[in-house]
Amino acid sequence: MPELPEVEVVRAGLAPAVVGARVLGVEAHDARALTRHPGTAHDFEARLTGRRFSGAARRGKFLWLPLDDEAARGPESVMVHLGMSGQMLLRAPGAPAERHERVRISIEHPEHGELAVVFSDQRTFGSLAIDPLIPTQDGHPGGFGDAAPLVPEQAAHIARDPIDPAFDDALFRRRVAAKASGIKRVLLDQTVVSGIGNIYADESLWAARIHPETIARDLSTRAVNRLLAEVRSVLARALAEGGTSFDAQYVNVNGQAGYFSRYLHAYGRAGEACDRCGTAIRRVAFMNRSSFFCPRCQRQP
């Protein structure tokens, strides 16, 4: 599943094309792509057509495109759940349908003219939805990329992510200190900190020299601070490389893959030498997935 860097690459690519653009028409080819929308496919098409996108925002792995205010309903957005294989692609008007195209939104931008925003999803776990925007609990902007203190209702329970300017380091430390589970499970808990998935949890823990099964509340304040710093460093480096792509599913709006997979130190490297000490990276089962770590650099407590 795409994590913060992959979703941010999509958001950053969409923003110049959609902010200020008016929706000319919507074609929902597959109702499964609208499972989180509180209405029919026709309702989605009708409510979106003629509206104007006012932003492109993200919190953790959640992406939304705020819409101009509509007095009858209040502020709304198009909420984008990429799921496991969802893609938001920019195409020329009239471009042939993508292989797994589910929804096509035709837009007209004041500077760029007409474009098509295509939601493609091979596994159909992703979804688009028109979702109300509600005030944030802390009064800060809802997410990265939009200054409004509003967040989609479907994402209101999601914690802020580590590169959000409004992220509260002290709150994160308190939440970690209250957890009796392994630290990797805590990093994956989107109500504690958002945007981190299996790949970047393993990479951050390797960088911080912390075993993934270390009980969260047993970590010292210094260790938690070190981990948070490494999380931010890993995410920043992944963003610079366009995210991590192992196949054709994780791509930017132009269909291009990210290259951070070339710089992974732990994830997916079972049996290979640790870049720090030379010990073979170990793989163990973890929550129906896998954890990768160095048994020497990340000693089990």
Task: Could you list the residues known to form a binding site, using ranges.
Answer: 100, 123, 179
CB 90 within 8 A of CB 142: no
CB 52 within 8 A of CB 68: yes
Task: Using alpha carbons, list the distances in angstroms from residue 275 to 143, 219, 264, 270.
Answer: 35, 24, 10, 12
Assess whether 232 carries a catalytic annotation.
no
CA separation for the pair 297, 49 (Å, rounded):
55
Assess whether 184 carries a catalytic annotation.
no
Task: Using alpha carbons, list the distances in angstroms from residue 231 to 43, 52, 81, 197.
Answer: 41, 36, 23, 11
Q: Nearest to residue 235, comparing CAs of 283, 278, 187, 189?
A: 187
Assess whether 160 carries a catalytic annotation.
no
Among 51, 58, 59, 61, the one annotated catalytic: 61
Take residue 270 and report the two structure tokens written for it.
Answer: 């079972």
Residue 85 CA neighbour count, 13 Å, CB half:
14
CA separation for the pair 52, 94 (Å, rounded):
20
Q: Which residues are annotated as a binding site for DNA?
A: 100, 123, 179
Among 2, 5, 66, 162, the one annotated catalytic: 2
Among 73, 217, 289, 299, the one annotated catalytic: 289
Among 3, 8, 98, 101, the one annotated catalytic: 3
CA separation for the pair 198, 196 (Å, rounded):
7
Assess whether 165 carries a catalytic annotation.
no
Active site residues: 2-3, 61, 289
